[in-house]
Amino acid sequence: MGAMANPVILTVDDDPAVSRAVARDVRRRYGDRYRVVRAASGPEALDALREVKLRGEQVALLVADHRMPEMTGIEFLEAAMDIFPAARRVLLTAYADTDAAIEAINVVDLDHYLLKPWHPPEEKLYPVLDQLLDAWSASPDAALTEIRVVGHRWSAPSFKVRDFLARNLVPYRWLLADEPEGARLLDAAGATEAELPLVVTAEGKAMVQPSQAELATLAGLAVVPATDFYDLVVVGGGPAGLGSAVYGASEGLRTVLVERRATGGQAGQSSRIENYLGFPDGVSGAQLTDRARRQATKFGAELLSTREVVGLGDAGSARVLRFDDGSEIAAHTVVLATGVSYRLLDAPGLSDLTGRGVFYGSTATEAPSCVQQEVYIVGGANSAGQAAVHFSRYASRVHLLIRGADLTASMSRYLIDQLDRIDTVTVHPHTTVVGAQGDDHLRRLTLCDGRTGATRTVDTSWLFIFIGAEPRTDWLDGVLVRDRKGFIVTGPDLLADGRRPAGWSLPRDPYHLETSLPGVFAAGDVRAQSVKRVASAVGEGAMAVSLVHRYLEAQ
């Protein structure tokens, strides 16, 4: 079904002979362009319409008999209007019911009524239906081919669903529960507002409050590995991880990339990366991620979503990775490219409003909602600068809050110059957020001047935080050597006083990106002393694969 399905003509009549006759005549004339659905009662027909609605298909015409025991034709058409308001409506009546049919023109905005019998159909049925279908074709309901999400505007669970789909490059349509179309879809799924968010696929499968794993399955993302042993497992789907997956798979290694949330990492959330080699006009993080994903899969790499790795160990020549559900996969080699996470901003009120006006690094899904509003961004590095540029296209003003005196210490020169040219972006030096207030969503922020200690309150519904970064490596405690901040130490940095790391089992020194466990490499931001740039992360991901080959050849 979905995008390829013909629009529906639904007929409903409790008399089996009449029902077969009207469906037969309609199908004979319109069966090559429309799908004719037949129901024996009003409730049965409404169930059919709800299923069609969930599938995202179109309904062009409703033909209902007036005298039915459970629900009259007029009652059915009135209920059907709530599901498919644009469908044309025809009532079948006996001569004695014409007064009721005329009255129904005003009650349910009836398009036409037909007297039974309608023979010959060439004279009494088809001319009427031709006219109605032509009118409907001029302005049909839009057929939906993407996932639909119904939720509340200021809902953290709804935001998480939208953010997950957006970051995984899954097309979706966002519908508010209090808007007519959202309410109709909610009713068709038999769900309540308390159960939101509701997710409906193009095939009509509905799920309320899905987990990320369930959402990934609905979106067609792979969550289960095809086998239990690989040449290379890449943990993390940012630029470094995608670089390793592309080069590993292209060079014939059985490669699987495991990502706990969404490919692209922090770079995937960037509205525009303008200093990446080969893109003089810049490229968005989503575009770069999409190209890298397609490239990796073209060469045969598997991409697993919503799988969190919580353990790493060795089993002879194999390296074993354990998932949070207790399952495991093994490989000859591993590349750790788990990147870093934005640190949480510690101020009263922020944690309660996360996902409801307070966001960490997420911009793409929220920017269009900020039209003509004031947006506050915390952070002074490139990611914050890119977000400020992006939001300036929507917001009336963007306020960039930084602890230091200026941006020169942490932001690329091209971004600083770009921000200087945007009149609607204001940089506030020596400014921190010390509090947030709101009920159902963020409404006010308390800001503090770091020089004087003075505070002030500003009204806003939008705060985006890009502060610092910390690696997600607690699960490697006691397994690999890390520095005091948790970054993974590799290569020559492991040779303290010329001695190899404790437990090192090989007669050689660790390779440049190799960790303290032979055959396990680290690339990108998670590696200690790495350059925190997209290009260097991709380069390290590729370099790690060349070292993987050296390791395998020596085994």
The DSSP result for 30-89, as a single string, is HTTTSEEEEESSHHHHHHHHHHHHHTT--EEEEEEES--SSS-HHHHHHHHHTT-TTSEE
| Residue 409, Cβ density class (10 Å: 0-12 exposed, 13-18 middle, ≥19 buried) | exposed
Q: Are 248 and 258 in contact (CB under 8 A)?
A: no
Cα distances (angstroms) measured from residue 259 to each of 79, 167, 359: 45, 12, 21
AA identity, residue 15: D
- 28: three-class secondary structure by DSSP: helix
Q: In which region does residue 72 sit, left (phi positive, over 0), alpha (psi from -120 to 50) or beta (all else)?
A: beta
Please confirm whether the linkage preceding 492 is cis (ω < 30° from 0).
no
Q: How far apart are CA 174 and CA 88, in angstroms?
A: 26
Q: Are 540 and 513 in contact (CB under 8 A)?
A: yes
| Residue 411, Cβ density class (10 Å: 0-12 exposed, 13-18 middle, ≥19 buried) | buried
- What CATH fold (topology level) applies to the domain 351-465? FAD/NAD(P)-binding domain (3.50.50)
The DSSP bridge pattern shows strands 340-341 and 397-401 to be unpaired
Per-residue pLDDT of the chain (555 residues), as tens digits, is 334 578 999 999 999 999 999 999 999 999 999 999 999 999 999 999 999 988 888 999 999 998 888 898 888 998 888 888 889 999 998 876 667 667 666 666 788 888 888 889 998 899 999 989 988 887 655 455 578 999 998 999 999 999 898 888 788 889 999 998 899 899 999 999 889 999 998 778 899 999 999 999 888 899 999 999 999 999 999 999 999 999 999 999 999 999 998 898 888 878 778 888 888 877 888 888 988 998 999 999 999 999 999 999 999 999 999 999 999 999 999 999 999 988 899 999 999 999 999 999 866 678 888 999 999 999 999 989 999 999 999 999 999 999 999 999 899 999 999 999 999 999 999 999 999 999 999 999 999 999 999 999 999 999 999 997 789 899 999 999 999 999 999 999 999 778 899 889 899 999 999 999 999 999 999 999 998 889 999 999 999 999 999 999 998
Looking at residue 2, its pLDDT comes to 38
Cα distances (angstroms) measured from residue 521 to each of 218, 234, 241: 33, 9, 11
Q: Are 256 and 225 in contact (CB under 8 A)?
A: yes
Q: How far apart are CA 534 and CA 526, in angstroms?
A: 13
Q: Are 108 and 83 in contact (CB under 8 A)?
A: no
Structure tokens at 77: 């058409």
User: Using CA atoms in the order 496, 497, 502, 506, what is the torsion angle rounded to 10 degrees?
Assistant: 100
- Cα 9 to chain center, whole Å? 33
Q: How far apart are CA 137 and CA 346, in angstroms?
A: 56
**DSSP secondary structure, 175-236, as one string:** EETTSHHHHHHHHHTT--GGG--EEE-TT--EEES--HHHHHHHTT---S-S-SEEEEEEE-
Looking at residue 125, the DSSP 8-state letter turns out to be: T
Looking at residue 1, its pLDDT comes to 34
- With a CB cutoff of 8 Å and minimum separation 6, the contacts of 192 are 186
Stated pTM of the model: 0.75
Q: Are 403 and 380 in contact (CB under 8 A)?
A: yes
Residue whose tokens read 């990934």: 216
What CATH class has 2-138? alpha beta
Kindly give the residue spans of alpha helices, DSSP state H, lying in 310-446: 382-391, 413-420
Nearest to 247 by CA among 259, 258, 257: 257
Residue whose tokens read 């193009």: 202
Q: Which helix (H) or strand (E) element contains residue 293?
A: helix 285-298
Q: How far apart are CA 167 and CA 159, in angstroms?
A: 12
| Residue 100, Cβ density class (10 Å: 0-12 exposed, 13-18 middle, ≥19 buried) | middle
- What CATH fold (topology level) applies to the domain 229-341+470-554? FAD/NAD(P)-binding domain (3.50.50)
Q: Do domains 229-341+470-554 and 351-465 have the same CATH topology?
A: yes
Nearest to 74 by CA among 109, 49, 44, 39: 109
| Residue 27, Cβ density class (10 Å: 0-12 exposed, 13-18 middle, ≥19 buried) | middle
Looking at residue 479, its pLDDT comes to 96
Neighbours of 194 (CB within 10 A): 7
Looking at residue 205, its pLDDT comes to 86
Cα distances (angstroms) measured from residue 455 to each of 287, 389, 433, 447, 451: 41, 27, 9, 5, 11
- With a CB cutoff of 8 Å and minimum separation 6, the contacts of 152 are 158, 176, 177, 178, 193, 196, 197
Q: Are 377 and 394 in contact (CB under 8 A)?
A: no
Cα distances (angstroms) measured from residue 138 to each of 77, 87, 134, 135: 21, 12, 6, 5
Domain coordinates in residue numbering, the chain: 2-138, 147-218, 229-341+470-554, 351-465
| 450-472 per-residue burial string, b: 16 or more CB within 10 A, e: under 16 | eeeeeeeeeebbbbbbbbebebb
Angle at 356 between CA 352 and CA 360, to 5 degrees: 85
Looking at residue 142, its pLDDT comes to 47
Structure tokens at 330: 């093994």
Q: What is the pLDDT of residues 469-485, one digit of tens each?
A: 789 899 999 999 999 99
Superfamily of domain 147-218: Glutaredoxin (3.40.30.10)
Looking at residue 516, its pLDDT comes to 97
